[in-house]
């Protein structure tokens, strides 16, 4: 059980981040949710988790594209035992047409934020004498596809940073690993299905299996609960000697 541990999950008002926050709370951890908005719905998500799992849950606004806000998030939370770097965005374009502002935003949110949050959180983990860092990379942290230069550069960067921090903390009771999801069924992905069905004049099943999951040999989406479960495992005693590595949750994508 993770009772008494505090987990900060960046980018957790939807999708994988929210799924991870819920599984960590289910395992007993107090959680800090985050995104760049400050709406009633954001705070309501934290209240719902607190009520459902009987833990403390807070929502703290911070824009992960800004280094000082990344560091302020950790400070406002009062440090943490578990840090999950999950915030991320995507943009798809050939490199010679890739908008510079999209490049900068993806590198900032998907990669630089992890530098700032890890730098700010590590001293608090050392004080507590225990720490777990879980970086949400991607199958695209290990392999490539065309038109995703910024995302793939950032995710490969996260994997490299993960290994480095693991070596820097290797003799301490702190681990640092990355989860590499394949295609995960989030509301965002779900919303693309009807349009793609129309575009290709295909059934839902065909769109999912032959368009979206073309590169995922299992032909099944991974789920946000599975990302949460993998995170909880990395926080368990069984995973205490797992550090500096990646766990693929991708239905066989990277085995191809």
Q: Which tokens in the block code for residue 69?
A: 């806000």
The active-site residue, picked from 147, 151, 183, 200, is: 151
The answer to whether the beta carbons of residues 249 and 222 sit under 8 Å apart is: yes
Closest CA to 138 of 113, 158, 118: 158
Q: What is the distance between the alpha carbons of residues 61 and 56, in angstroms, rounded to a whole number?
A: 17
151 is catalytic: yes
Region from 24-32, 96-104, 163-171, 184-192 binding ligand NAD, contact rule CB under 6 A: 184-192
Dihedral (C-alpha) 10, 11, 17, 22: value to the nearest 10 degrees? 70
DSSP 89-122: ------GGG--HHHHHHHIIIIIIHHHHHHHHHH
Work out which of 24, 166, 184, 212 binds ligand NAD, going by CB under 6 A.
184
Region from 22-30, 118-126, 160-168, 181-189 binding ligand NAD, contact rule CB under 6 A: 181-189
Work out which of 2, 5, 13, 53 binds ligand NAD, going by CB under 6 A.
13
Work out which of 6, 17, 74, 80 binds ligand NAD, going by CB under 6 A.
17
**Interacting residues with ligand NAD between 79 and 138 (CB under 6 A):** 86-89, 109-110, 136, 138
By C-beta, is 4 or 204 nearer to ligand NAD? Answer: 204
Q: What is the distance between the alpha carbons of residues 225 and 240, in angstroms, rounded to a whole number?
A: 22
Task: Kindly list the residues in this chain that would bind ligand NAD in the complex (CB under 6 A).
Answer: 11-17, 35-36, 63-65, 86-89, 109-110, 136, 138, 181, 183-184, 186, 188-189
**Which amino acids are annotated catalytic?**
151
């Amino acid at each position: 059980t993770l009772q008494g541990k505090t987990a900060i999950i960046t980018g957790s008002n939807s999708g994988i981040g929210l799924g991870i926050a819920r599984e960590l709370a289910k395992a007993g951890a107090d959680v800090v949710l985050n995104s760049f908005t400050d709406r009633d719905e954001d705070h309501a998500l934290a209240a719902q988790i607190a009520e459902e799992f009987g833990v403390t849950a807070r929502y703290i606004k911070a824009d992960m594209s800004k280094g000082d806000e990344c560091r302020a998030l950790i400070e406002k939370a009062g440090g943490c035992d578990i840090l999950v770097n999950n915030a991320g965005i995507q943009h798809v374009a050939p490199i010679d047409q890739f908008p510079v502002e999209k490049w900068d935003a993806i590198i900032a949110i998907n990669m630089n934020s992890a530098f700032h949050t890890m730098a700010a959180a590590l001293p608090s983990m050392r004080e507590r004498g225990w720490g777990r860092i879980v970086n949400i990379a991607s199958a695209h942290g290990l392999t490539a596809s065309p038109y995703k230069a910024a995302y793939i550069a950032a995710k490969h960067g996260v994997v490299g940073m993960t290994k480095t921090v693991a070596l820097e903390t290797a003799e301490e009771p702190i681990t640092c690993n990355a989860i590499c999801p394949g295609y995960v069924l989030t509301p965002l992905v779900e919303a693309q299905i009807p349009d793609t069905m129309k575009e290709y004049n295909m059934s839902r099943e065909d769109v999912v299996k032959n368009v979206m999951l073309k590169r995922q040999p299992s032909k099944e989406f991974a789920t946000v609960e599975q990302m949460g479960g993998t995170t909880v495992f990395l926080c368990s005693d069984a995973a205490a000697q797992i550090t500096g590595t990646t766990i693929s949750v991708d239905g066989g994508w990277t085995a191809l």
